[in-house]
A and B are shown apart, each in its own frame.
Chain A
Amino acid sequence: MDLHSIVMVKQVPDTANISGQVMKDDGTVNRAKLPAIFNHEDRVALELALQIKDKFGGKVTVITMGPPRASDILRECLYMGADEAVLISDRKFAGADTLATSYVLSEAINKLGKYDFVFAGRQAIDGDTAQVGPQTAEKLNIPQITYAEEILDVSESSVKIKRKIEGGYEILESKLPVLITVLKDASFPRPYKAKRVMAYKNAKTLIELEKLTEGNSLLYIDQLKDEYVSKQLYIQTLTMDDLKLDEKRCGVHGSPTKVHKIQSVVLAGGNHEMIEPSKTGIGILIDKLMEDHILG
């Protein structure tokens, strides 16, 4: 079997670790100060794709749509064992909601050739919407299995998957190709291989190569790119034009949802009654609650 898996990954701000420095005085978030991390469930998705490759052979391609610095997580994917990495980056993608994002991703996937699986994490921690997976599947016109907990069996033309449902689980069998979104407990991502880290830490996107040529008249971008391609250190880099996309469907223009208002969360002063952390204090509190018929 020669199965091709494409894994959609995302670099996300580490919203779980927002510290004081990250908050601006007006209470909004300073995104530039937030550490950017590899969305964990996407890493689990990559692990599942790599397991399929280990067992049945084939190839794993990772793609991400994001700003130039999203190449960091693509290198991490290469360290884990991905065969190819693709960065889809363009200023015109800025402000994309899930619909515009799924349009770009689905068009990119269509250009990557034949595939059997598209994997993604169930959701990304910056929005928690869980929408891009199903929307990409719809645009690719392939079935989807969301909330996957375990891959039970793979054949040349089908896959059997255990997925979570309300109050339990179900086992589904789908024909290939299929898009699968995975839960964090579906597997444990493998550590980086030292050899691969040494090899791929120098892998670069076109944007990063262009940076190298800046201010260096001896370096020509086409030559440099060829060199990186031949050393297998080139991270394919695609823009809106490369993908021949409809600009009206990208970025903020292609997004039906708009942010109308943002309010920073202002904490109410708090009219609570302080209770002494002592037996007496707690005794008084319990008396009050009993009087109000809340306890007892």
Chain B
Amino acid sequence: MVKILETMNKDVWVFIEQRNGKPADVSFELLSKGRKLAETLNGSLKAVVIGYNVNNIIEETFKYGAEEVLTIDHPELEHYKTMPYSRILNELVEKHSPRVVLFGATIIGRDLAPRVASHTKSGLTADCTDLQISNVKYLKKDYEDLLLQIRPAFGGNIIATIITPDNPTQMATVREGVMRLEPLDKPVKGKVTKIDYQPDGLDDIIKIIEQHREESKVNLKAASIIVSGGYGLGTRENFNLIHELADVLGGEVAGSRAAVDAGFISHDHQVGQTGVTVRPKLYIACGISGAIQHRAGMAESNKIIAINTDPDAPIFGIAHYGIVGDAMQIIPMFINVFKQKLR
């Protein structure tokens, strides 16, 4: 058995992402998951907070069980910049060799994590849909307590379990909504370790000239009813029916990746492995075949209705109610009948 040596670090780190001083939900979701991983590993859960005036964010990480916060607070770090952020993380990871480092699979996380993984020669797996700790037998060797990085691969036809057996640090990115947000009843009394910002000549090699950001009006994660459309709807015009049904039911509109790629709807509405993971009371999948990447993002919905012309579509495999038929005919029928019932 390749044991984790007593001298080896068993800590789980989560990079806490903030935009304009507002922490990203996904970071707290990862702390919630990280807490369980750290328990299994017998290590501690640590949050890395980089930014400016981040005291509130630090306090919030304690609600999710961070036992220690490593923080660098400096005006130069107010906005995410690849060079200083990656340099700081490189130095921290090199110094402490945490066992696991988790990042949100956001634009920032996907810009930062590979750079840090490259510098520290760590393994990195993108867009994991599950993370576990387990003993592993690999190439006739037994390894203790490896991070299982589980993700659909190859067009969703397979689910791969990736491991990083021989390197001290295992890194992974996870999309928003995949892990459940689980605040503690009572925040922990975590330690705050402040680190000085020491500028480097390369920090400013890229300058931010301007930034425009609008609060997304889409909040799929909070919606209790979601009406979702797929490529099967055929056109952007047909997709309007999805909006209509969502309006009538008081739900949110979502789409599969194929619908987003076809331009039927914007990416912030995408449900699935490379979009958002949702768990609404009701999920109505219209013209969605149900590739594993999509199912990964909605399979835990309380009730699923699938509408598809193909009776063999995989989406029926996880649906509670199945309607075989053309969504273009079924949806108007649904709207009519529902309106009548409300009267």
Are the C-beta atoms of B123 and A259 separated by less than 8 Å? Answer: no
Whether A102 lies near B118 (C-beta < 8 A) is: yes
- With contacts A131-B117, A265-B292, A295-B338 taken as known, whether A281 is within 8 angstroms of B323 at the C-beta atoms is yes
B341 at the interface (CB under 8 A from A): yes
Of A143, A256, A275, A296, the residue contacting B121 (CB under 8 A) is: A256
With both beta carbons as reference points, the residue of chain A lying nearest to B216 in the complex is identified as A167
Q: Does B316 contact A (CB under 8 A)?
A: yes
| Inter-chain contacts of B155 with A (CB < 8 A) | 13, 15-16, 18, 29, 126
Given the known interface contacts A294-B281, A295-B249, the answer about A256 and B207 at a Cβ–Cβ threshold of 8 Å is: no
- Residues on the A chain within 8 Å of B154, using CB: 13, 15, 29, 126
Which partner residue on chain A sits nearest B312 by CB separation? Answer: A267
A18 to B153, CA, bound (A): 13
User: With the chains together, A174 CA to B159 CA distance in Å?
Assistant: 39
Q: Which residue of B lies closest to A23 (CB)?
A: B157
Chain A residue nearest to B338 (CB atoms) is: A286
Distance between B328 CB and nearest chain A CB, rounded to angstroms: 12
CB distance from B336 to the nearest CB of A (A): 7
CA distance A93 to B215 in the complex (A): 44
Stretch touching chain A among B1-9, B232-240, B299-307: B299-307
How far is A134 from B320 in the complex, measured between Cα atoms in Å?
Answer: 43
Q: Is A28's CB under 8 angstroms from B336's CB? A: no
| Chain A, range 102-154, C-beta contacts under 8 Å to B | 102, 126-135, 137-139, 143-147
**Looking at the complex, which one of A130, A139, A262 makes contact with B160 (CB distance below 8 Å)?**
A262
Complex interface: chain A residues within 8 A of B106 (CB): 166
Interface residues on A, range: 35 or more
CB distance from B316 to the nearest CB of A (A): 5
Query: B interface, by DSSP: helix, strand, loop or mixed?
Result: mixed
Q: Roughly how many angstroms separate A53 CA and B307 CA in the complex, as a whole number?
A: 50
- Tell whether A270 is near chain B: CB-to-CB under 8 Å: yes
In the bound complex, how far is the Cα of B208 from the Cα of A29, in angstroms?
A: 44
**In the assembled complex, B108 has its CB within 8 A of some CB on chain A:** yes
CB distance from B23 to the nearest CB of A (A): 12
Contact status A287-B341, CB under 8 Å: yes
Nearest B residue (CB) for A290: B341
Q: Which of A249-266 contact B (CB under 8 A)?
A: 255-265
Q: Say yes or no: A257 contacts B163, CB within 8 Å.
A: yes
Partner of B159, one of A265, A268, A283: A265
Residue A172 is within 8 A (CB to CB) of chain B in the complex: yes
- Least CB separation from A129: chain B residue: B126
Q: How far is the CA of A137 from the CA of B210 in the complex (A)?
A: 23
Docked pose: A81 CA to B123 CA in angstroms: 37
1/0 contact string of A154-165 vs chain B (CB within 8 Å):
000000100011
Task: Tell me, in angstroms, the Cα distance from A256 to B128 when the chains sit together.
Answer: 16
CB of A224 closer than 8 Å to a CB of B: no
Partner of B325, one of A99, A126, A263, A277: A277
**Contact B161–A261 (Cβ < 8 Å):** yes
Measured in the bound complex, the distance between the Cα atoms of B208 and A294 in whole Å is 47
The CA of A269 and the CA of B138, in the complex, are separated in Å by 32
- Decide: A167 near B215, CB < 8 A? Known: A282-B334, A290-B341: yes
Contact B213 A167 (CB under 8 A): yes
7 residue pairs A–B, Cβ–Cβ below 8 Å? A18-B157, A131-B114, A134-B110, A255-B123, A273-B322, A274-B323, A286-B337
